[in-house]
Structure 1
Amino acid sequence: MLPPVLQRLRIPVVAAPMFIVSGPELVIAQCKAGIVGSFPALNAREDRGDTPLLDIWLTRISEELDRHNQANPDQPAAPFAVNQIVHRSNARLQRDIEICHRHRVPIWITSLGARPEVNEAAHDCGGIALHDVINNKFARKAIDKGADGLIAVAAGAGGHAGAQSPFALIQEIRDWFDGPLLLSGAIATGRAVLAAQAMGADLAYIGSPFIATEEANADPAYKQMICDSGAMDIVTSSQFTGVSGNYLAPSIRNAGLDPDNLDSAEASSMNFSDASGKPKAWSQIYGAGQGIGAIHEILPVSARIDRLAQEYQQARESLLA
């Protein structure tokens, strides 16, 4: 049984939080179209001394969704989520936790470490905590530390991705865990959403298709590269962040590097501090998942979700027939 906040979605989809790409415009459009929209807290960066941009973003998102719900009582917006990077280098973590707690964020997504105090903060303001994992060992640790649900990040996912087949990852987790389970990894069509459920996941976790939308905070060249590329154009490397991730080979070439001969980097090089140079690197090296072969045009978010919903329904009817 899913918690109420994850029920009554138009289709069983949570939009993945994407570094730089996910902002208020994208989140609001996703929620209005009926799926959970999300963004990383670290995307909201302000100059020193200014009002925290995260505070401003959360106020805007809550107010716009509230206005939408008042105007559309029969089709209310889906809830939103905020992703917290729990890595030790994130000097903003405590401040961002306090801001999200004050705004009563309904869904908290944690990455790169499981912290009981973050889960407790989510629960204290009435929210739920979902933790992303790449294997069964990390899944057990996350639940032991108080997470309500899991996001299984399988091979083929964009950005920081796991190496395991979704079949193996889901079946090992479902062997002992019956709570909320999401699947991430090359999901770009409604048929793939249904396949994720058939494997045992409750919801699909989709990122890369939303890069190629009008509301995404992405360079036009990035959006077009998504449309022009396929699974063969995805390169896996740890060079850019210290953790294995999936990236678009054309963007690596554009940065003057050879995607077939990349160096490796240690996890200790990962840095999410405000002074980190990583945002600059990520703005030049584009992350994406292996499912982008299904994405051929840049669309408004509403149109992309309409298409997903139509494909999902057609796939259900085809299997039932």
Structure 2
Amino acid sequence: MLTPVLRDRLRLPLIAAPMTAVSGPELVIAACRGGVIGSFPAHNARTTEELDAWLTRIAAALDTDGAPVAPNLVVHRSNPRLADDVACLARHRVPLVITSVGSPAAVLGPLRDAGCLVFADVASMRHVDRALALGVDGLVLLTAGAGGQTGWHNPLAFLRAVRRRYDGPLVLAGGIADGAALLAAQVAGADLAYMGTKFIATEESMAGAEYRAALVAATLDDITQTSGPTGLPANLLAGKVDPDAGAGQSTGFRFDVIAGATEVWAAGHSVCGVDAVLGVAELIERTHREYSAAAEAMTRNHIY
């Protein structure tokens, strides 16, 4: 169950997913104004000083009625900015921080002291157990089909497995292509869901015109999974990155690689729902209509 600070400020149970080289202040502001949580990787800002400027700009653009902002923090030991970025987020007292690629143990204290909720990105039951043992405030379930860094479990199976042992906030990441899929995730037990790929193809994203056009033209068959670019399994647009790049190497994840991965075109299975480049407000409005229509169909057909 979501806390009031999150639930009461949302029009849809949705997070505009944090995406490297894609999510910036314009996208976040537009998402929050539309009533969905706006998220972005802290490393999209080139320095901690720029991160501070972004958060100041976002706060100034949003009034108290806007949806919350949720910066994403890579907590891997190779992140040289981690301590400085944590201090920056704590100073701004952001309502929610989403951690990924590692244990949030080192950042829980300072963020909690500043009043921030901390959700942890997890991709396996082992990750779930470790995060819950630390006492995180919620989990983001990274599942098969997520764009960019991806999981391997079926979304519904993973969601149900986690829900059997945890009654706190759950976010489903992977395969949310429209409002009907969003409602399905909620019915299955998620409190929120990520939508990422469709937000790449918006006017406010930092993606280039060629990248956006490629998403509109793509189908499910154009998504390939590779560990080449970052050392972690990732879903990308086929043809943009050689899926065999890095094969046989075991260098593992490095923060400098993901932070500099501006030429990688990430996309998830939800690319099947991308049919045009839209403004964020229009995308949210369309998703709300789809969500409402699916809810009405459930009621009409006595599906509860």
| TM-score, structure 2 as length reference | 0.94
Letter in 2 for 1:17: P
For the residue of structure 1 that corresponds to 2:262, the secondary structure is helix
User: CA, structure 1 residues 32+265, in 2 after alignment: closer, same or farther (shift >3 Å)?
Assistant: farther
CA distance in 1, matches of 2:41, 2:270: 22
For the residue of structure 2 that corresponds to 1:205, the secondary structure is strand
CA distance in 2, matches of 1:211, 1:198: 26
Alpha carbons 1:237, 1:264 under 8 Å: kept: no
CA distance in 2, matches of 1:279, 1:109: 16
Unpaired stretches in structure 2, ≥5 consecutive residues = none
User: CA, structure 1 residues 109+267, in 2 after alignment: closer, same or farther (shift >3 Å)?
Assistant: farther
Query: CA shift at 1:267, angstroms?
Result: 5.8
Is 1:304 the equivalent of 2:304? Answer: no
Aligned length: 299
Equivalent in the alignment of 2:265: 286
Among residues 282, 294, 304, which one is paired with 1:315 in the alignment? 294
Equivalent in the alignment of 2:30: 29
Equivalent in the alignment of 2:179: 190
Q: Alpha-carbon deviations, 1:282-311, whole Å to 9, x = none?
A: 322201101111111000000000000000
Among residues 215, 219, 224, which one is paired with 1:230 in the alignment? 219
Query: CA shift at 1:250, angstroms?
Result: 3.1
For the residue of structure 2 that corresponds to 1:299, the secondary structure is coil
For the residue of structure 2 that corresponds to 1:101, the secondary structure is helix
Is 1:96 the equivalent of 2:85? Answer: yes
For the residue of structure 2 that corresponds to 1:284, the secondary structure is coil
For the residue of structure 2 that corresponds to 1:118, the secondary structure is helix
User: CA, structure 1 residues 56+267, in 2 after alignment: closer, same or farther (shift >3 Å)?
Assistant: farther
Query: CA shift at 1:279, angstroms?
Result: 4.6
User: How do 1:117-128 and structure 2 match up within 5 A?
Assistant: 117-128=106-117
Letter in 2 for 1:213: T
CA distance in 1, matches of 2:105, 2:114: 15
Alpha carbons 1:152, 1:170 under 8 Å: kept: yes
Is 1:7 the equivalent of 2:7? Answer: yes
Letter in 2 for 1:264: A
Among residues 141, 151, 157, which one is paired with 1:168 in the alignment? 157
Letter in 2 for 1:292: V
CA distance in 2, matches of 1:206, 1:277: 24
| TM-score, structure 1 as length reference | 0.90
CA distance in 2, matches of 1:26, 1:206: 13
For the residue of structure 2 that corresponds to 1:109, the secondary structure is strand
For the residue of structure 2 that corresponds to 1:250, the secondary structure is coil
Alpha carbons 2:229, 2:257 under 8 Å: kept: no
Letter in 2 for 1:35: V
Is 1:217 the equivalent of 2:206? Answer: yes
Equivalent in the alignment of 2:71: 82
CA distance in 1, matches of 2:115, 2:250: 34
Letter in 2 for 1:53: E
CA distance in 2, matches of 1:168, 1:150: 15
Query: CA shift at 1:167, angstroms?
Result: 1.7
User: CA, structure 1 residues 277+244, in 2 after alignment: closer, same or farther (shift >3 Å)?
Assistant: closer
Alpha carbons 2:21, 2:206 under 8 Å: kept: yes
For the residue of structure 1 that corresponds to 2:232, the secondary structure is coil
Alpha carbons 1:86, 1:114 under 8 Å: kept: yes
Alpha carbons 1:158, 1:247 under 8 Å: kept: yes
Is 1:269 the equivalent of 2:270? Answer: no
Among residues 110, 117, 137, which one is paired with 2:126 in the alignment? 137
Query: CA shift at 1:87, angstroms?
Result: 0.6
C-alpha RMSD over aligned residues: 1.5
Alpha carbons 1:212, 1:226 under 8 Å: kept: yes
Equivalent in the alignment of 1:52: 49
CA distance in 1, matches of 2:52, 2:224: 36
Letter in 2 for 1:216: S
For the residue of structure 2 that corresponds to 1:151, the secondary structure is strand
For the residue of structure 1 that corresponds to 2:121, the secondary structure is strand
For the residue of structure 1 that corresponds to 2:73, the secondary structure is strand
Among residues 135, 147, 158, which one is paired with 2:147 in the alignment? 158
Equivalent in the alignment of 1:40: 41
CA distance in 2, matches of 1:265, 1:111: 25
User: CA, structure 1 residues 97+154, in 2 after alignment: closer, same or farther (shift >3 Å)?
Assistant: same
For the residue of structure 2 that corresponds to 1:144, the secondary structure is helix
User: CA, structure 1 residues 128+315, in 2 after alignment: closer, same or farther (shift >3 Å)?
Assistant: same
Unpaired stretches in structure 1, ≥5 consecutive residues = 70-75
User: CA, structure 1 residues 137+28, in 2 after alignment: closer, same or farther (shift >3 Å)?
Assistant: same
